[in-house]
Amino acid sequence: MRPSPTRLGWVRTSPSVVAGVAMGAVVLAWGMGPPISKLITAPALVTAFSRLWLSVPLLLGWMYATDRRLSWRLLRLTAPAGVLFGLNMCLVFSAFHHASIATLSVVGALQPGIVLLAAGPLLGERATWWHRSWTAVGVGGAVFVVLGAGSAMRTSSVGIVLSVGSMVSFTAYFLLTRIARARATEPIDAISWMAGVTIFSAITVTPLLLLTEPLSGFGQIDGRDWLWLAWVIIVTGMVGHVLMAWVLRHINASKASLYLLSMNVVAVLAAWPIHNEPLTAVQILGGMVVLGAVAAVVSRPATKVVPAVSTVSDEIEGLPVSDGSAGAAHARQ
């Protein structure tokens, strides 16, 4: 029987293929985030405040334009993740003023290991020896990518603390998003999820800004800052985070986290022309190791407690989560 048409045409597409393509887009969007964000000269909390509050009406407009609505249930479920995301924004933008992109990347490269350890007890994702081994290889390759920068690996004790804080807060947000959306009794589409998260993130940042920054700090956002801020809001924020929220319904958290190691390769490549950070042979070798590790993990499905969905019926342009009407399992997908 001919499959019913979707926005992807007449082709019935495997969820792993669609999610893999979306994950690749996330890697590019988020990989460009640090080099672009570091170009913003305004104070860190002013940048975080502006990035989040300017995102709120855009995401709400996207919701209402696609016949979605806010609800108390959505706000209740997104509040914890929103607080973590808001704290992460503050730490990340602060770290840009005290540490190099290489420092942030090498600390962030530890995330897949933490996610791999937490995914079992929290999500019921049972990684095989193959996935554990290649995750370790991928982390090692990412370390080579960033440490290969040599003298560009500059930081301070404050920069290290902020980098670790940003990694821990993002890992917690990453896992909480996976848990909340996988265990929801009713599906939450990615656009609505990020709209709710962004509202609470902006609320979280606001008192921190008012307590620590004078209002004159907003005057330090100059013309070019608005350009870079627009990139961070639209590409890194709206496109990257909405896609990531959708992907986490279709890819194991541990596997998705390993994919994100590729961001370090993108960030280092982008930092070369943008910040004049040279690309060394060690970094090239490390990048090849990271991509090889990602390819190895993707080549074999992880062992899971709940079977994966076999087909995709999601409307990719609107990014709603599959409602399981075609026999798809909700749990952990």
Which letter does DSSP use for residue 234 in this model? I
Q: Render pLDDT for 99-158 as a digit per residue (tens, 0 to 9).
A: 777 677 767 777 777 777 777 777 666 767 877 787 788 777 777 766 665 655 555 678
Q: Residue 71 domain-assigned? A: yes
Q: Residue 328 domain-assigned? A: no
Helix 44-65 to helix 190-212 angle (10° resolution) is 150
Q: How many domains does the chain have?
A: 1
Q: What angle do CA 113, 319, 267 make, to 5 degrees?
A: 40
pTM (predicted TM-score):
0.72
Q: Residue 325 domain-assigned? A: no
Q: Residue 183 domain-assigned? A: yes
Q: Residue 274 domain-assigned? A: yes
Q: Residue 144 domain-assigned? A: yes
Q: Residue 311 domain-assigned? A: no
The C-alpha atoms of residue 143 and residue 98 are separated, in whole angstroms, by: 20
Q: Residue 120 domain-assigned? A: yes
Residue 278 belongs to domain spanning: 25-299
Q: Render pLDDT for 162-215 as a digit per residue (tens, 0 to 9).
A: 888 998 998 899 888 888 877 777 778 889 999 999 999 999 999 999 988 887
Q: Render pLDDT for 238-269 as a digit per residue (tens, 0 to 9).
A: 999 888 888 877 777 767 777 777 887 788 78
Buried b (16+ CB within 10 A) or exposed e, 160-181: ebbbebbbbbbbbbbbbbbbbb
